[in-house]
Every structure is written in structure tokens, then in C-alpha cells.
Amino acid sequence: MTPAIKIARNLFLLCCCIAAVSFTFKNTITAKAEKDKILVFSKTNGYRHESIETGIEAIKKLGAANNFDVDATEDSTYLNDANFKKYKAVVFLCTTGTVLGKPEEQALQNYIHNGGGFVGVHAATDCEYDFAWYDKMIGANFLSHPRQQEAKLIVVDNTHASTKHLPATWVRKDEWYNFKNMNPDVKVLIKIDETSYEGGKNGDNHPMAWYQQFEGGRVFYTELGHTIESYSEQNYLQHLLGGIKYAMGKK
């Protein structure tokens, strides 16, 4: 082999090594840049909350500030096994009525059974009444509500990511749900003081936010979030963010 050929071969091998290192480096950077992602689902088949669009934008801002991406859809067929694999958690934001078909119901069950996270916001308890598994998973069904008014919320567990920033008694205005078919297995985070407002029907045990480990997944629900103003309220946004982080499996 002539010296010229040896030089050419060595240069070729050097170029191959550089290309391989460059490819590996780029792939490493890309992998590190990938963010966790959540899905916001806000389909309604009944009353539609005016706060939904504001809520979606607020959750996207929370994601941008806390290093996770947010997709949003009202297409129930998007909720399938393949798409669920993309997400650390799914948020049902003020969903109402029957919003899932049988394939989507099964996909949601599969997602939870595979360790997925679920966040229900406000009217998420006002949907899927004929889907018994969903009712047990989310923790209760909507019964009724009085007029919007100020009330006292009592934080009964201040160790959770969604409540540790809150005062022991949190006074705020919202639309306060009464519930039926409450799952006794949920771990209550916040209760409402029915003596502080008119129209409560659950008595001394009237939960407003809770969480649970459910059939392999993580579930968080907050009744709060009816009003547009909620999504510019820092205590509420931090409460919601803590619930999302819990559902995502973040400590």
C-alpha cells in the first residue's frame, strides 16, 4: 500500500469517526431536550364552561414555566392507546356529559392500568355517568350546586404538592358542587365549611379536592376552577400545578 493510499484511508477513517461522534452527540442532546408532555381534554356534551379556553392557556403557561409540554384536544377519538403513550398525565378540564365512546373508555382504563396519571378539574365529575369505572376512578359524581359565592375551604392535608402552599383556611369565591356516589377510598385534601355559605348538601364531610392511587395509576381531582378568574389566581394555579405534578409522578 502506497503512502498516498494510507493517508487517504486514514483520512477516511478519521472522517467516519468524527461523523459517528457528531451523530451520537446530536442524539444525546435531542434526548436531553425532550420534555414530558400532558394532554388537556375539554370536550363537552352539555353545559360548556366559559373558563375552558382560559384554563387551557393557563395550563400551557404552567407547562412552559415548569418544563413540560401541553397538548389540547376536544376530539375524543384522539384518546387511544397509541396516543396515550405520549403523555405523563391527561387532564379532563370541565368536561360535561357523555364525552367518550366505548373504545375511548377502554383506552383510558388501559392508560391508568399502565401507570398513567389523571387530573379532573371542576366539571370532570359532571360527565360519564354511565361509565361506572370512571365514576369510581374520579371519586364522585356531581349532584347540584348553589349560586356562586364566597366560602371557607379547610385544608385537611398540607403535605401534598397541591396544598402545601395554601393557608389552613382558604377563603375564595367559586361555584361549589354537591356530590353523590363519593368513593370512600380517596384521600381528601380540602373540605368546604358548609356553615360559611348557602346551599351545601354534603354536611361536615364535604370534600373539594382529593387524590388516590387507583388500579396502577395516579388520580387527582379538584372541584375548584369554574370561574375565569380562577386561572389568574396564584393560589389556585399552584394548587392545580401540584395536582398535575402528582399525576405525572413528579415528587
CA torsion 63-68-74-80 (nearest 10°) is -160
pLDDT at 132: 98
pLDDT by residue (tens digit) across 72-99?
A: 999 999 999 999 999 999 999 999 999 9
| Residue 194 three-state SS | helix
pLDDT by residue (tens digit) across 117-162?
A: 999 999 999 999 999 999 999 999 999 999 999 999 999 999 999 9
Q: Is the pLDDT of residue 217 over 80?
A: yes
Candidates 161, 157, 142, 162; CA nearest to 187 is: 157
pLDDT at 45: 97
Contact between 124 and 103 (Cβ < 8 Å) = no
Q: What is the pTM of this model?
A: 0.88
CA distances from 238 to 35, 43, 66, 147, 169 (A): 20, 24, 11, 25, 16
For the chain, counts of helices (H) and of strands (E): 6, 11
pLDDT at 251: 74
Question: Which residues have CB under 8 Å from 159's CB, separation 6+?
Answer: none
pLDDT by residue (tens digit) across 20-79?
A: 434 444 444 444 458 999 999 999 999 999 999 999 999 999 999 999 999 999 999 999
Instruction: Just give the CATH number of 35-248.
Output: 3.40.50.880
pLDDT by residue (tens digit) across 223-250?
A: 999 999 999 999 999 999 999 999 999 9
Contact between 226 and 174 (Cβ < 8 Å) = yes
In this structure, how many other beta carbons lie within 10 angstroms of the beta carbon of residue 15?
Answer: 10
pLDDT at 102: 98
State what percent of residues in the chain have pLDDT above 70.
Answer: 87
Provide the b/e sequence for 162-192 (b: ≥16 CB within 10 Å).
Answer: bbeebeeebeeebbbbbbeebbeebebbbbb
CA distances from 104 to 78, 115, 131 (A): 8, 17, 11
pLDDT at 34: 81
Give me the residue spans of the domains in the chain. 1-34, 35-248
d(CA 232, CA 236): 8
